[in-house]
Amino acid sequence: MNGFWYRKKRLYCEQVSVAKAAATVGTPFYLYSQAALERNFQVFDSSFREIPHLTCYAIKANSNLAILRVFRSLGAGFDIVSGGELFRALKAGADPQKIVFSGVGKAQEEIDLALKHRILLFNVESAAEMKMLEERARSVRKVAQVSLRVNPDVDPRTHPYIATGLRQHKFGVPMEDAAELYRIASRSRHLRIGGIGCHIGSQITRLEPFVDAVKKLKGLVAALSASGIHIRHLDLGGGLGISYNDEDPPPPEAYAKAICEIVKDMECTVLLEPGRVIVGSAAILVTRVLLTKQNGSKNFIVVDAGMNDLLRPSLYGSYHAIQPERVNGRGLWKADVVGPVCESGDFLARDREIQIPKKGDLLAVMNAGAYGMVLASNYNSRPRAAEVIVKERRMKVIRRREGFIDLVRGEAVNPL
């Protein structure tokens, strides 16, 4: 269920025509289906109903306040990786006792802010971080709940940039170091052992890597328990993939079933940090064709959204389906869909069979809800796109389009 469908050959988001939304806000813009956001969250969360759990939506995937509010109102917790994400979560009304703080490099001010708000767990990724957390907690007379992020050395078989659970990656601590780190934590009056966790990567389309990682963690929790270290939260991170092209990832129900099977006899609350699987399919990026051109035998469709709006194709070579707003029966053309940015790497699709476009046509870049707007930049001094949410027949701008004045905010005209 992604909320986007055709009626009389025109693309709709729920009951709002994409053409109407484009006429109202201009292009490019991200368009979200609230029904899809809600349903994706509920399907995921309810798949774990047989075990004590908390679904902490990973804000990094999409951090718009209105979207966070949708999940908060469905009972979500949040996974944050910065002070900025903590600020966003609190602004969206999150319960701090449902916030977990991940990330390999937390700054002192970020730790202080999280301590002040008494978040549920700090996912600690090194001995140095634990030392710093202890010092900060002591100085503000608070107790920090520690959850060690261990590195289970499992290959998630995804793009190398988004694999995170192998020994050579910067994330987490080796499993064999965990017991000693927990012992250090248990000696401090300002640290409390709260949990253990892992996150092995993103856009994972098979169950085996998850199953391997959870089994390893279960073994470690048993070994820790035998040495008197009792773990109350088991944080399994995020990572479940979606279908952008021809991938066939397990549905959340199958993912949950495989995990529940392993953890159901553990005395832990399971924490989950899904991002992509919740928001990925719930949005499109709507862009307008500026012109078409041919360089020799190569065809190009130049659109008004570029790598500054959606970086994934340029960054990872990611595939996003591109669909016309209006099905016109003009036949197909093989072309690159490219943006206006001055980089050869600025493309949304390469060698794609696409309905023959005309200047002014609208195109929808599908499955753009995760790691889309959050990775947008002002490169080439391009104002960032608007974001719009639709619920049934209503639509609302949830981030206004930037103007030129936004580009220079905070800059000084006069040098020394």
Ligand X SMILES: Cc1ncc(COP(=O)(O)O)c(C=O)c1O
| Positions marked active-site | 342
Give every CB contact of residue 230 below 8 A, 6+ residues apart in sequence: 193, 224
CB contact at 8 A, 382 and 365: no
CB contact at 8 A, 363 and 323: yes
Query: How near is the Cβ of 240 to ligand X at its closest, in Å?
Result: 6
* Span interacting with ligand X, options 255-263, 273-281, 307-315, 353-361, rule CB under 6 A: 273-281
Q: Quick one: 56 or 385, whose CB is closer to ligand X?
A: 56
Q: Binding mask 302-341 vs ligand X (x if CB under 6 A, - otherwise)?
A: ----------------------------------------
213 makes contact with ligand X (CB under 6 A): no
> According to CB under 6 A, which residues from 350 to 379 bind ligand X?
370
Which of 141, 120, 144, 140 has the alpha carbon at shortest distance from 130? 144
Q: Binding mask 219-258 vs ligand X (x if CB under 6 A, - otherwise)?
A: ------------------xxxx------------------
Identified binder of ligand X from the candidate list 199, 288, 320, 382, rule CB under 6 A: 199
The CA-based angle 175-61-319, given to 5 degrees, is: 100
CB contact at 8 A, 266 and 260: no
Q: Quick one: 77 or 238, whose CB is closer to ligand X?
A: 238
CB contact at 8 A, 340 and 287: no
CB contact at 8 A, 42 and 385: no
Q: Give the span between the Cα atoms of 357 and 280, in whole angstroms.
A: 26
Q: Quick one: 81 or 305, whose CB is closer to ligand X?
A: 81
Residue 80 phi, psi (nearest 5): -115, 160
Residue corresponding to tokens 């392993």: 262
Identified binder of ligand X from the candidate list 152, 275, 324, 357, rule CB under 6 A: 275
Q: Give the span between the Cα atoms of 335 and 347, in whole angstroms.
A: 11
Query: How near is the Cβ of 200 to ligand X at its closest, in Å?
Result: 10
Within 120-207, residue ranges assigned H as helices are: 127-139, 178-186
Q: Quick one: 33 or 202, whose CB is closer to ligand X?
A: 202
> According to CB under 6 A, which residues from 18 to 77 bind ligand X?
58, 60-61
Query: How near is the Cβ of 56 to ligand X at its closest, in Å?
Result: 8
> According to CB under 6 A, which residues from 90 to 149 bind ligand X?
102
Q: Give the span between the Cα atoms of 64 and 56, in whole angstroms.
A: 15
Secondary structure of residue 155 in the 3-state scheme: coil
Q: Quick one: 4 or 78, whose CB is closer to ligand X?
A: 78
Query: How near is the Cβ of 407 to ligand X at its closest, in Å?
Result: 29
Q: Quick one: 38 or 361, whose CB is closer to ligand X?
A: 38
Query: How near is the Cβ of 57 to ligand X at its closest, in Å?
Result: 9
Number of residues that bind ligand X (CB under 6 A): 17
Q: Give the span between the Cα atoms of 389 and 31, in whole angstroms.
A: 6
Query: How near is the Cβ of 257 to ligand X at its closest, in Å?
Result: 18
Query: How near is the Cβ of 221 to ligand X at its closest, in Å?
Result: 19
Which of 181, 223, 173, 222 has the alpha carbon at shortest distance from 197? 173
Q: Quick one: 125 or 325, whose CB is closer to ligand X?
A: 125
| CB burial of residue 351 (10 Å; 0-12, 13-18, 19+) | exposed
Identified binder of ligand X from the candidate list 55, 64, 202, 318, rule CB under 6 A: 202
CB contact at 8 A, 96 and 267: no
For ligand X, the binding residues (CB under 6 A) are 58, 60-61, 79, 102, 199, 202, 237-240, 273-277, 370
